[in-house]
Structure formats: C-alpha cells, structure tokens
C-alpha cells in the first residue's frame, strides 16, 4: 500500500464479493425499490422499539450479504459497523448476535464508506481475508433522537431530508469475484459554519468538496474518469452546493454526479423534501443498486463517497456549528 | 501481516514514538498524578460546557503528543479517535480543529486500544507513516449523559466507578524509537446478561476474558510472557471477576494483572468506590504512565487491553443487557 496526500492506493485490490440491503416500506415504494433484497412493511419489524427494529435491519442485512457470498458468519474475519444512535447501539447489539470480531465506528452518514475504507485496508494488508462493512438507520429512531417526537407531528422545512429506514452491507474479500476497490481517500472534518439541523446537505457539501478535490489531486484523475460520482446523502440542496463548490475549484462534476439521497425517493410523490438521508440511505443505495450494476458492468468506474454530519443535538443546542466529513472509495468493475 | 484466529501479527512493527496525557484535578491528585503531562484544576478549562471542556482535553492532548514527537499536526497522516459522548462530539470537534484526516471510532472505554489497533494496521501496511490514536472522557459530561444530573447529588453504589476526566494520545509511527507493537487481538461483543449501569466492571469482565483467552490461544503465549497484563477499566469488581473467569479457563493472571481503573485513584482517600472508568482512564494511564515505563525498559512486555461497555441509556431503559468488548495490543519495549 502506498499513500499520496489523503489517498491510499491498494496494490492487492479487495473485491466486493457480495452486498445486500433491506429497507422499509417507503424506501421499497421508491424509484429503486425493486432492487433491494427485502422490503419490510412494519417499521417495528416485530420488535418492541424502533431502536431494536433498526438493529434487526442491520443484523438481517449482514446475514443476507454473508449468505449471498455463500459464507457463514464464522467465515467473516471482522465486522466494521456503526450507526447514528447514541453509543451506536444498532451496530453493537447486532455484532453481539452475529458473534463476529468487531470494530465499532462512528462516522454518522459517512459510515458506509468509512467501514468500506477500513475493511479494504484490513483485507489488502493481509490482516483479514473477509470483512463485513455495514450500517443502518431508521426514520423513527432518528427523528426521535435528533429532531422531534414523531407524535408531535412537526412540520418539516423544505431543506429537510428524510432519514431512510434500512441497512446495507458489503462483503469485502481478498479472493473471489466482484467490483475491485482501487483507492481510498480519507476525509478531514470540515465546517463552514452551517448550524441548521434541518439543512444537513448544506453542512455536508463543503466536506464532500474537500475530499473530492483531494481525491482528484492525489490520484491525478478528473471527474470524467468515473461513470458515476456517487455522494450520499447530500440531497438536492447539498448536491447543488457541491456542484457549485466544485466548479469554483475547477472541476465540473455535473455530468456524472448523483446523490443517494435523490435516488431512493421520488420527491414528487413521496414528499421527502430535499431527499433521503441517514447512514442507511447511501448504504442501501450502494449495496442494493450500485454494486449489482457494477457486477453487470453497466457501471465500470464509480467513486462512492458517503458524507456524514458529525454534530449532536447537545453540541447544536450549545451553539456549535455542524462539522462534516466524507470518505471516498474508488471502485472498478471486475475485468 | 498474517492472522491467526482473532489475532493479527505485525511483520513491520509500528512504534509508539510519543504519548501524552492531560487529566483533571482529581486524577492529578491520585497515585500516578505526577506522571501526567498536565493537570487542569478547572473542570471547565475556561470553556462554557463540560462537553466543550472534554473536547479541549482531547485536542490539547493530541497536540501535546505530536509536539513531544517533534512533529506538526500536518505530519500526522490520520487521527483515529472516539469518545463516550453521543455522536462522539469530543473527537469530532477536536478533529475539526486539528485538521488531520480523521477516522471516527466508537468503542466506549475500549477506544484507546481500538484506535491503537487500527492505527497499527494502517502504519504496518504502509497506508500511513504516522497515526495519532486518542480518546477522552469527562466525569461531568458522562454523569450527565449516562446517570444523573450532577446537581441531583445522587448516592453512588459500591460497585460504581468514577469516570476519569482526561485524555490520552499515542503517536504510532513506522519510523523512530519507542515500544513496538507486535500483535493485535480484536474482540467480540460479549454479554453475559448484566444490566446494572452501576456495575460496568461485571459487564465488561466476560469480554476481557474472551479476548484474553483468544490472545493466548492465537499467540501460543501464557500470562507469564508479559510483565504486565493491563486491563482498563474493570475496576475492583471487574478485576476480581476477570481473574476468576481466567482461572476457570486455566490461566492464572493474578500475578501480573493490573487494571487502569485501580491505578489512577486511591479509593481509601479519594472515595471512588470500585475505581476509575471512562475512555480517558485507560488512555491516560497507558499514555501517561505505562509508555514512559516501557521507554525506560522498566516494563518489557505489556499486553494492553482496554474494555468497553457498549450499551446506551436508551437500550438499558428498554430492558437490554449490557454488551461489552475488549481489544488487546501486545507491546514490547524497544531493544
């Protein structure tokens, strides 16, 4: 492995040998609903709380991805996961049930690329043969924790995004067939002073720009080297800001940029305002929709960059602005 | 790098080229108080909230460790950190100020060994030359978030531990002089059904046992191969349980086992009940006290294993038991 700037180049390229996604009813009714492995109508999924339900989405998704790779949980060396809930209980309790050696992460909605990044380092270095990178979110547990009690029925502002109920998992392996992970760009925490909890896209766009510029400089690539630059989850507001910020930096990404938050819902019919968000948004879109497209070589070069807002309700109440981060993973369809 | 069981063996052994710790007044008055780099009397350290103060402890500790290595923040490839606060705001906001590419972690009080473990993989693989592994905790922010408002003045039970106000940081490098990191044992999430938030030692001891047994089996080592097996932060209750559990597994660790939670406070005079706890406890004891002893070769072989309880107040209120994890790092004094 060698590193240039913020980017790690992988000599032994890990493969995404399988991926899975399980989502809720609203996500299943969206434009890419038919691509998810399972759609669960009941937001509680037979559990007693939204938090336990979220854990079930994560656990069942990891099990599904492992099964699709024709493996057993004991074949997986390490699970890398985290989520939005306080103390990441969704990931922690899932790791307890799965009994796989576990690295806990916190990257808010950047967790899917964070977990894939560190999994790739572990696999490429020989420290692991197979890792499971996964994350989840749940609309109800997130609203309760970050915004208002659902029962309050608060109005959502036009810039607000809708937290996805769902989970995604990618199995990253040294052997096998699948899209190859080529390079990893680690982000810096970036903060341009946004403090509106209902405008995460604006808070995260500068972090996405910072990592994207670093990626292009470190790798000597241009936006056109990718069929798709996939951010998540900036939503409409953040997507527009990112494209404008990138233009100022001399990069036109408008032709091949899309955002997971805009792909999972149809705002015209689903009333999700600026789009989807939550760790589960980019996880489900990437694992459920993008990986299969790369397996079929309908997409050949993808830069996947999940973005996370790193504040807490406490930090915002104390007057802090919202810091954000984005990690980018460069992926090539198998030859 | 090769792996056996849960243990990664490092061919290129990273070195701990410097370490630093900053603690609060109570910790500074304890048995090893004089070894910390700085003792801060004011729990708010001129900040407006305990949460911001905790972030300052972390940030200043990272800066101090970087300075002691004769480096600048821009020389550090990656910072790996997390903490106990909801959404890990202490680490996130510190990473924003330090402007170092950042991997966010959540391992509760296991974070010091979790961050060292992943830093070691990054450095040993060539993905990084220099990483900063760090974590923090704060008595006031932790009590407020996990137990009772401080103003309530609640009685603490005999099994309760006292969250350390402080932070520790280790600079892990491919070059330079310092204790060498030889192997890394990743823990599994373990839960034997403890549900008392005031008895973390009992909740974490089974996870410590599980990782320790895995380490000895994977490495063909015995407890006597180490001068010190250092757990953190089991406290008195957890230490006794761990030694008993290890005995049942056929390992006598009683001769060379100590726990960070028992080293940082003097219970006879400081009224800390079962001992210290919090991410900052093992971080400050390891970085402030143990690393210098290894640099002077007063300790030659240390197994450092921070332990974390992975519940949240919400999960416990919902009737869940407390899952825990422990990661072990085998360290040798430089030759």
Give me the interface pTM, i.e. the ipTM.
0.98
Assign B239 to helix, strand or coil.
Answer: helix
- B59 inside 8 A of chain A by CB: no
Over residues A241-267, mean pLDDT: 97
Residues paired with B259 in a beta bridge: B231
Residues of chain A contacting residue B103, judged by C-beta atoms under 8 Å apart: 105, 107, 114, 117-118, 186
Please name the residue of chain B whose CA is at the shortest distance from the CA of residue A96.
Answer: B189
Mean pLDDT of the residues in chain B: 97
Over residues B69-97, mean pLDDT: 98
CB-count burial class (<10 Å; 0-12, 13-18, 19+) for B42: exposed
Q: What is the distance between the alpha carbons of residues B332 and B13, in angstroms, rounded to a whole number?
A: 10
Q: What is the pLDDT of residue B193?
A: 95
Q: Report whether pLDDT(A154) > 90.
A: no
Q: Report whether pLDDT(A335) > 80.
A: no
Residue in B259, B326, B328 with CA at minimum distance from that of residue B290? B259
- E strand or H helix at A140: helix A139-146
Question: Are residues A106 and B104, on separate chains, in Cβ contact within 8 Å?
Answer: yes
Q: Which residue in the set B92, B187, B190 is minimally distant from A323, CB to CB?
A: B92
- A4 inside 8 A of chain B by CB: no
State the CB neighbour count (10 A cutoff) for residue B256: 17
Q: Report whether pLDDT(B190) > 80.
A: yes
Over residues B314-325, mean pLDDT: 96
Q: What is the distance between the alpha carbons of residues B197 and B143, in angstroms, rounded to a whole number?
A: 11
Residue in A121, A125, A124, A85 with CA at minimum distance from that of residue A103? A121
Assign B149 to helix, strand or coil.
Answer: coil
Q: What is the pLDDT of residue A156?
A: 87
**Nearest C-alpha of chain B: how many angstroms from A114?**
7
Over residues B260-278, mean pLDDT: 95
Q: Report whether pLDDT(B148) > 90.
A: no
Alpha helices in chain B (DSSP H): 25-28, 50-68, 89-98, 111-125, 139-146, 200-219, 235-248, 260-263, 267-270, 279-285, 291-295, 313-317
> Each residue of B103-123: pLDDT tens digit?
999 999 999 999 999 999 999
Pick the range with the lowest mean pLDDT from A319-328, B127-136, B144-153, B166-175.
B144-153
Residues of chain A contacting residue B101, judged by C-beta atoms under 8 Å apart: 6, 186-188
- A203 inside 8 A of chain B by CB: no
The whole-model pTM stands at: 0.98
Q: What is the distance between the alpha carbons of residues A89 and A50, in angstroms, rounded to a whole number?
A: 12
Give long-range contacts, CB 8 A cutoff, 24+ apart: B31-40: B31/B263, B31/B264, B31/B265, B31/B266, B32/B263, B32/B264, B32/B285, B32/B288, B32/B289, B35/B288, B35/B289, B35/B292, B36/B166, B36/B284, B36/B288, B36/B289, B37/B61, B37/B64, B37/B68, B37/B288, B38/B64
- Quickly state the pLDDT bin for B197 (edges 50, 70, 90): confident
Over residues A175-189, mean pLDDT: 98
Over residues B86-98, mean pLDDT: 98
- Quickly state the pLDDT bin for A261 (edges 50, 70, 90): very high
> Each residue of A184-215: pLDDT tens digit?
999 999 999 999 988 999 999 999 999 999 99
Q: What is the pLDDT of residue A267?
A: 87
- B12 inside 8 A of chain A by CB: no
CA angle A283, A309, B107 (to 5 degrees): 75
Q: Report whether pLDDT(A2) > 80.
A: yes
Residues of chain B contacting residue A124, judged by C-beta atoms under 8 Å apart: 125
Question: Are residues A92 and B1, on separate chains, in Cβ contact within 8 Å?
Answer: no
**Nearest C-alpha of chain B: how many angstroms from A174?**
13
For residue B233, whether the previous peptide bond is cis, meaning omega lies within 30 degrees of 0, is yes
- Quickly state the pLDDT bin for A245 (edges 50, 70, 90): very high
* Residue A105 DSSP one-character state: B
Mean pLDDT of the residues in chain A: 97
Q: What is the pLDDT of residue A155?
A: 87
Residues of chain B contacting residue A104, judged by C-beta atoms under 8 Å apart: 82, 105-107, 114, 310, 325
Total CB pairs under 8 A between chain A and B: 187
Over residues A249-272, mean pLDDT: 96
Q: What is the pLDDT of residue A321?
A: 97
Question: Are residues A127 and B1, on separate chains, in Cβ contact within 8 Å?
Answer: yes
- A269 inside 8 A of chain B by CB: no
Over residues B186-207, mean pLDDT: 95
Q: What is the pLDDT of residue B154?
A: 85
> Each residue of B25-64: pLDDT tens digit?
999 999 999 999 999 999 999 999 999 999 999 999 999 9
């Amino acid at each position: 492995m060698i590193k240039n700037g913020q980017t790690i180049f992988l000599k032994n390229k890990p493969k995404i040998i399988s991926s899975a996604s399980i989502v809720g009813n609203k996500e299943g009714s969206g434009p890419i609903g038919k691509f998810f492995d399972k759609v669960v109508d009941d937001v509680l999924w037979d559990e007693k709380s939204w938090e336990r339900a979220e854990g079930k989405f994560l656990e069942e998704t990891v099990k599904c991805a492992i099964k699709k790779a024709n493996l057993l949980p004991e074949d997986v060396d390490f699970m890398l996961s985290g989520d939005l809930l306080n103390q990441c209980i969704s990931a922690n309790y899932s790791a307890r049930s799965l009994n796989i050696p576990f690295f806990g992460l916190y990257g808010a909605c950047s967790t899917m690329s964070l977990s894939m990044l560190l999994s790739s380092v572990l696999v490429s270095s020989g420290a692991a043969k197979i890792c499971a990178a996964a994350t989840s979110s749940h609309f109800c547990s997130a609203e309760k924790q970050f915004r208002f009690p659902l029962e309050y029925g608060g109005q959502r502002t036009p810039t607000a995004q809708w937290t996805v109920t769902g989970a995604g998992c990618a199995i990253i392996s040294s052997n096998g067939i699948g899209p190859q992970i080529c390079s990893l760009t680690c982000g810096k925490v970036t903060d341009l002073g946004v403090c509106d909890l209902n405008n995460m896209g604006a808070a995260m766009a500068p972090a996405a720009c910072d990592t994207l510029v670093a990626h292009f400089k470190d790798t000597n690539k241009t936006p056109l080297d990718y069929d798709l630059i996939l951010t998540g989850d900036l939503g409409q507001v953040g997507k527009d800001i990112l494209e404008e910020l990138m233009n100022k930096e001399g990069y036109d990404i408008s032709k091949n940029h899309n955002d997971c938050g805009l792909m999972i819902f149809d705002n015209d019919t689903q009333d999700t305002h600026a789009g989807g968000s939550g760790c589960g948004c980019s996880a489900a879109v990437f694992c459920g929709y993008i990986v299969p497209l790369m397996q079929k070589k309908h997409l050949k070069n993808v830069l996947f960059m999940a973005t996370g807002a790193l504040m807490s309700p406490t930090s915002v109440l104390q007057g802090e602005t919202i810091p954000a981060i984005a990690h980018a993973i460069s992926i090539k369809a198998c030859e």
